[in-house]
Amino acid sequence: MDIQGKTVLVTGANRGIGAALVRALLKNGVKKIYAGARNPSSLPDFGDDRVTPVQIDVTQPADINAAANKIGAIDILFNNAGIMTFANVLSASSAELAADMDVNYYGTIRVTQAFVPLIEKQGGGAVVNLVSIAGLAPPTVISGYSASKAALFSATQATRTALKSKNIAVFGVFPGPIDTDLAKNLPLDKASPEIAAENIIKGIIAGREDIYPDPTSDQLSGLWNSNPKGLEQFFANMG
Ligand SMILES: NC(=O)c1ccc[n+]([C@@H]2O[C@H](COP(=O)([O-])OP(=O)(O)OC[C@H]3O[C@@H](n4cnc5c(N)ncnc54)[C@H](OP(=O)(O)O)[C@@H]3O)[C@@H](O)[C@H]2O)c1
């Protein structure tokens, strides 16, 4: 789908992949970007008057509804906000497991429910969900996070089906390790958020429903598509 001339919302736009997405969207000719952040004063100066800060904590329905009322209409929603607890499902506390679910799964659904009517007003558009390669099979050390992303993967598929007749495309993005604060404890080779953002936009323009935006996820997507059990075993062997 076309990006040029579109009005978009990016959640979690103050750093990491979200901030890189804002910069890449500006380069790709969007008309307007609502840059969502829990604390708008944490947003960098993007140096472009097409960017409007908007306060959204995805765990707070009141924030989400206030933002939707203020914004009025968008073409593309980027559900990017996310957190990652560094723990496996057998050692994580209930609070840690719940926090990952609240932001990554329920948060994305809350924002989608509030903003889909604004996309419908435009006659169609897109929802882009930042899932993770870890949503397809669980790396042990982050398996609580993986469960929240597996739930999000399922919700992404369900959202796609639900919105098909409304001319709203739904993209799932499945990054591997990207060099942001979220992944700082993962001792792996990482792609830059700028590369990830550019490839996410290329994937949307090409109309690819499942986007693997970095070399690691691109490689692992081959394993996932040919042998899902193989991806489980690959992560299990990482320890
Ligand atoms: N980095 C990776 O290796 C990787 C791999 C696969 C998928 N992803 C996914 O990509 C997305 C972006 O991650 P990232 O790597 O850019 O992480 P990051 O640098 O840690 O940034 C996370 C962003 O999410 C925001 N956020 C967290 N909780 C929020 C909430 N309750 N409401 C609104 N915003 C909230 C943060 O805002 P604050 O500054 O206010 O905390 C920040 O803007 C996430 O969904 C993540 O799961 C990342």
Q: Provide the residue range defining the domain that includes 125.
A: 7-238
Region 81-106 average pLDDT:
96
pLDDT tens, 19-31?
A: 999 999 999 999 9
Report if pTM > 0.85: yes
- Asked if 172 contacts 129 with a C-beta cutoff of 8 angstroms, the reply is yes
* CB of 16 closer than 6 angstroms to any ligand 1 atom: yes
Q: In CATH, what number is assigned to the domain containing residue 100?
A: 3.40.50.720
Q: How many domains does the chain have?
A: 1
Cα(200) to ligand 1 centroid in Å equals: 15
DSSP-assigned beta bridge partners for residue 129: 79, 172
Give the pLDDT of residue 99: 98
**Residue 127, helix vs strand vs coil:** strand
DSSP-assigned beta bridge partners for residue 171: 128
In a domain, 206, yes or no: yes
In a domain, 26, yes or no: yes
Residue 177: partners with Cβ closer than 8 Å, 6 or more residues away:
183, 186, 188, 189, 190, 191, 214, 216
Percentage of the chain modeled with pLDDT above 70: 100
* CB of 146 closer than 6 angstroms to any ligand 1 atom: no
Residue 212 to residue 60: CA distance in whole angstroms: 30
Pocket of ligand 1, candidates 14, 17, 142, 186: which has the most ligand atoms within 8 Å of its Cβ, to mutate?
A: 17
* Cα-based angle 107, 228, 92 (whole degrees, multiple of 5): 45
pLDDT tens, 150-190?
A: 999 999 999 999 999 999 999 999 999 999 999 999 999 99
In a domain, 2, yes or no: no
